Structure formats: C-alpha cells, structure tokens
C-alpha cells in the first residue's frame, strides 16, 4: 500500500500504437518527477487514463472506467484523463466526472511536469488543451520503454487530412515532423540499449517531412535500416495519398526494412472514398498496391476498412469486397462506421441501420478469413527467420513474429525458451487464418 506522502501512479492506455508510445513517454516523465508506477488503481494515488476517441465504443470505455473507480476519490486519490478523449471533450469532462483533476491532450504533454506540480499543490481542474496551434512535438529523454523487444519512435505527429469521419485531426493537432537528425539519434540510442527492432510511428507516417529538409521518408527509412545493430524496421500507418514508389524501392534495397506495409483503403468504392474525403480513387489506390506487388521481395499487405459509411449502397459494398479479393491482404482491420463529434460526416445521415452494418462487417470478415487461410497456407514448407516475443508453456510453444508481421507459434519442447527479442530460423509446418505453426530449423 502506498503511503500518503509517496507519489504513486497507475496508467491505463487505450487506442493506437501512438497512444501506447505516448504512454511510454508519460511514464518516463512521471518517474523522473519522483513518481512510482503501480499496477492497480487501488495502490495508486494518481490514476491516469490515456484515452482513445476513434469510435464511440472506445470513448465510452474511459467513462466506464472512471465510473467504476470514482469511489476512490473519497480516499484522496486523484484522476487524470489524457489523450484523444481529453482533447476532444476538454473541460466538459469536469462536468461529467467532477472528481477528475487533470485533462490533457497529447499536444500538451511537454507541460506535464508543470501540470503535475499544480496537482500536487492541491489544484483541481487543470487543463492542457493545445489544439491545432501546436507546432512542437513531444520528445523526452526519459521514455520508459515498456516493450522489451520493439523500440517505438514517433517521427510525425498529428494529421492534416481531415477525412470526413475521423476525429484525429481535432484530437492530435496538425501534422508536425521531427528532424531526421533527432530520429536517427533516437534510433542509435535504442540500438545501444540492445533493441534490434524499431517501429517508426505516425498517424500518417509516410507524410513525414524533415523540418531540416535533409531526408525524404524513404531516405529516413533507409537510414534507420542502416543503424548498426538494427535488424528490423517497421513503420505504421502509411496513407495512400503520400505513398511514393521510393518507399517500395527502399524496402527492396534494405533487407532490414520489413516486408510488410499497412495501407488503409477504407472502401473499394471511389464514390464512397470521395464522400470520405480520402482524395484518392480505388484505381489510384490499386496502382500503389501494384507497385508493392511488383517488389522483388514479397511484401505482405494489410489494411483498414470502414463499412456502413453514410450512403454506402450494396453496390459500393460489393466494390469493397472486389477490392479485397483483388489485393488478397494478409490482415484486415474492419470497423462499422461510428459517427464522431466535430467531424464533417456528422451532418451526413448515418443511413445504414446498425443490423446492416453488422451484416456487411460479418460478410467481409468471413471472406477475408478465407483469403487469409489460403495466403497463410502458402508458407507451409518455407524456412524463415522469426523474432521471439514470448512463451506459451501450456502449449509448449514459443510465440514469435515473421518479418512480414505474421504470428508464428514455434513448437518448443525444451524447458528453457529463447529470450524475447532473440531470433531463430524456423520451418513452417502448419497454418491457420491468423497464424503459422513452425518447428525450429
Ligand atoms: N491515419 C490512418 C488511420 C488512423 S485511424 C489512415 O488514414 O489510414 C485508424 C482506423 O480507424 C482508420 O483507418 C479507420 O479505418 C478507422 N476509423 C477512423 N474513424 C472511424 C470512424 N468514425 N468509424 C469507424 N472507423 C473509424
Ligand atoms: Fe483520420 Fe484520415 Fe487523418 Fe487517417 S488520414 S488519421 S483517417 S483524418
Ligand atoms: Fe485513438 Fe487517438 Fe489513436 S483517437 S486511434 S488514440 S490517435
């Protein structure tokens, strides 16, 4: 149990990889301010939620969590809401949950030490709500990396694309990139810590623009791929609009760049894409896919799809299904459209009944499962290098991942499993729609 004077915090993270990595920076900042991290709300005197607002369900999670634990306020505990719901709802959170003392969006995290000091001095209703004014990125030398084998580096924050359905431009501020020099310095620091895998992050990672004008995104990828000690470089999420051919050329030229690209399409119908303000047609998207398919290495493809966007007809949905069959993705994240505050699509009538959205989603997921079943089966008999991520002793297996980002379960009968972050050669013996089974080679 924490003593009254000891500064302890609990932090729970919702949402995307950017949020997960922001939490690593927030944790580092708190540790540097003399706080100790604990694993339950009950043990902490500061309870923080780093929130996501991408769909309504995600937003509701934080209010449920706050409601579940609000009784702890009487015991002297303080609550803080961080991240995308914080930026979106702002001071309204104090009305809805009066026991919250701190509300801060991601664009204000550099002011956390000052906000924490005010909190400790007994102030309530502290806000950090820098919206689209912010030009700065949040960098800290104190990042407390939570992942033992993958080092995350944010290279660009925010979004200027304003897709009709999406909250991100409002919750994360405008697009702002870090200098290539500072990215490479962090990559070298991560390598020195013993990490061999780096994942470059951005809401639209390939919209990266070096403020020093030294490197394009593809050049930065190549440079990170050449940092001594780095064996795998991943990057997410790529936006089709800024997806240039030199990215494929870089993947071909540097084996450390993983053969996997996540390229969200959202819809196979150009009419819907236009209404979504994605600013590309399905043909234009498929041209990028053809570049990727023409690469020397076989590049694994994954995507995001929204079903039931306002006005999506049966014919539009069939076009999405056709695109799915044509691209043959290895992984698809599909979502039912969710109407979000502040977004342009809010004025469009959310015309597709919930049951119809659910039906389309199921049809899509069923078809995709069959595509993956056949894609994954093609690996049987292949030998490949995997990185160990963990262990599943109950099933006598080691959990690992291929360069293509596929989950590989390696049968492992010996008592001592290889350490997370180590590499091994395996031979694929069986496949499922979402994973491969292997024997050490
Ligand atoms: N910047 C990336 C996407 C980031 S958001 C891109 O533009 O490709 C992650 C995914 O959430 C999106 O690709 C989209 O498929 C989904 N999403 C975003 N807003 C949504 C909404 N209002 N309803 C349902 N899904 C949504
Ligand atoms: Fe959202 Fe579109 Fe920006 Fe992606 S590009 S984060 S979908 S507004
Ligand atoms: Fe969610 Fe914000 Fe990420 S809305 S998906 S946590 S950018």
Q: What is the pLDDT of residues 19-70, one digit of tens each?
A: 999 999 999 999 999 999 999 999 999 999 999 999 999 999 999 999 999 9
Ligand with an atom nearest the CA of residue 171: 3
Is residue 113 domain-shared with residue 155, that is, in the same domain? no
Are 326 and 286 within 8 A, CB to CB?
A: yes
> Residues in the chain with pLDDT < 50?
1-2
Q: Is 239 in the pocket of ligand 2 (CB under 6 A)?
A: yes
- Residue 134, token pair as written in the block: 């912010």
**Number of domains the chain is built from:** 4
Is residue 361 domain-shared with residue 324, that is, in the same domain? yes
Q: Which pLDDT does position 131 carry in this prediction?
A: 75
Q: Which residues form the domain of 422?
A: 383-440
Is residue 334 domain-shared with residue 370, that is, in the same domain? yes
193-to-91, 197, 225, 295 alpha-carbon distances in Å: 40, 11, 16, 33
| Distance from Cα 167 to the centre of ligand 3, integer Å | 8
Is residue 124 domain-shared with residue 192, that is, in the same domain? no
3-state secondary structure of 371: helix
Q: Is 82 in the pocket of ligand 2 (CB under 6 A)?
A: no
**Residue position matching structure tokens 């001594």:** 228
Q: Which pLDDT does position 134 carry in this prediction?
A: 82
Q: Which pLDDT does position 55 carry in this prediction?
A: 98
Domain harbouring 196, CATH code: 3.30.750.210
Of 340, 360, 377, which residue sits at a domain end?
377
315-to-87, 274, 283, 335 alpha-carbon distances in Å: 37, 15, 16, 18
For the CA of 50, the nearest atom of ligand 3: 6
3-state secondary structure of 76: coil
Ligand with an atom nearest the CA of residue 262: 1
> What does 246-275 look like in DSSP terms, one character per residue?
HHHHHHHH-TTB-SEEE---B-S-HHHHHH
User: Which residue from 156, 166, 341 has its CB within 8 A of the most atoms of ligand 2, so it is best to mutate?
Assistant: 166
Q: Which pLDDT does position 3 carry in this prediction?
A: 52
Is residue 371 domain-shared with residue 397, that is, in the same domain? no
Calculate helix-pair angle for 245-253, 282-293, nearest 10 degrees.
Answer: 20
Is residue 353 domain-shared with residue 315, that is, in the same domain? yes
Is residue 305 domain-shared with residue 232, that is, in the same domain? no
In a domain, 319, yes or no: yes
Is residue 42 domain-shared with residue 115, that is, in the same domain? yes
Domain harbouring 358, CATH code: 3.30.750.200
43-to-37, 77, 80, 102, 383 alpha-carbon distances in Å: 9, 10, 15, 19, 47
Q: Which pLDDT does position 4 carry in this prediction?
A: 55
The candidate with the shortest Cα–Cα distance to 274, out of 328, 324, 344, is 344
Are 237 and 205 within 8 A, CB to CB?
A: yes
Is residue 122 domain-shared with residue 16, that is, in the same domain? yes
In a domain, 94, yes or no: yes
End-to-end CA separation in angstroms for the chain: 48
Is residue 182 domain-shared with residue 103, that is, in the same domain? no
pLDDT in tens, 378-405: 999 999 999 999 998 788 999 999 999 9
Q: Which pLDDT does position 400 carry in this prediction?
A: 98
Size of the chain in residues: 441
Is residue 305 domain-shared with residue 326, that is, in the same domain? yes
Is residue 105 domain-shared with residue 16, that is, in the same domain? yes
Calculate helix-pair angle for 354-377, 314-327, nearest 10 degrees.
Answer: 10
Of 360, 377, 394, which residue sits at a domain end?
377
Residue with the smallest CA separation from ligand 3 atom 1 is 52
User: Hey, what's the torsion of the CAs at 233, 289, 244, 296, to 10 degrees?
Assistant: 60
In a domain, 307, yes or no: yes
Q: What does the alpha-carbon distance between residue 171 and residue 201 come to, in Å, rounded to a whole number? A: 17
In a domain, 133, yes or no: no
For the CA of 277, the nearest atom of ligand 2: 2
């Amino acid at each position: 149990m924490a003593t009254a004077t000891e500064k302890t915090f609990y932090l729970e993270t919702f949402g995307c990889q950017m949020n997960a990595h922001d939490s690593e920076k927030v944790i580092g900042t708190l540790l540097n301010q003399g706080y100790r991290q604990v694993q339950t709300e009950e043990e902490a005197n500061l309870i923080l939620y780093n929130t996501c607002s991408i769909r309504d369900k995600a937003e509701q999670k934080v209010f449920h969590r706050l409601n579940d634990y609000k009784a702890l306020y009487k015991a002297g505990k303080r609550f803080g809401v961080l991240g995308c719901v914080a930026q979106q709802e702002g001071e309204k959170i104090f009305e809805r949950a009066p026991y919250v003392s701190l509300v801060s969006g991601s664009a204000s995290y550099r002011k956390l030490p000052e906000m924490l000091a005010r909190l400790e001095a007994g102030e309530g209703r502290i806000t950090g709500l820098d919206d689209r004014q912010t030009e700065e990125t949040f960098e800290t030398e104190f990042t407390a990396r939570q992942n033992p084998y993958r080092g995350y580096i944010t290279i660009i924050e925010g979004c200027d694309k304003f897709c009709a359905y999406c909250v991100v431009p409002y919750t994360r501020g405008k697009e702002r990139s870090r200098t290539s020099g500072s990215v490479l310095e962090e990559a070298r620091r991560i390598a020195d810590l013993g990490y061999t895998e780096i994942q470059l992050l951005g809401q639209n990672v390939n919209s990266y623009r070096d403020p020093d004008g030294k490197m394009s995104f593809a050049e930065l990828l190549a440079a990170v791929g050449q940092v001594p000690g780095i064996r795998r470089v991943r990057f997410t999420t790529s936006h089709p609009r800024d997806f240039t051919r030199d990215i494929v050329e870089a993947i071909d030229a540097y084996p450390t760049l993983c053969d996997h690209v996540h390229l969200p399409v959202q819809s196979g119908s150009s009419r819907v894409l236009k209404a979504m303000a994605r600013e590309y047609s399905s043909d234009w998207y498929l041209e990028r896919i053809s570049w990727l398919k023409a690469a020397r290495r076989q590049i694994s493809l994954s995507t995001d799809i929204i079903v039931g966007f306002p006005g999506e007809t049966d014919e539009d949905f069939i076009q999405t299904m056709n695109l799915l069959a044509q691209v043959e993705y290895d992984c698809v994240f599909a979502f039912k459209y969710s109407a979000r505050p502040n977004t342009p699509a809010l004025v469009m009538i959310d015309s597709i009944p919930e049951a119809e959205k659910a039906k389309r989603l199921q049809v899509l997921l069923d078809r995709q499962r069959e595509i993956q079943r056949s894609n994954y089966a093609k690996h049987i008999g292949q030998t490949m290098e995997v990185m160990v991520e963990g262990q599943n002793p109950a099933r006598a297996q080691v959990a690992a991942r291929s360069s293509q980002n596929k989950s590989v379960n390696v049968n492992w009968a010996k008592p001592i499993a290889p350490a997370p972050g180590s590499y091994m050669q395996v031979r694929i013996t069986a496949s499922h729609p979402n994973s491969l089974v292997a024997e050490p080679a």
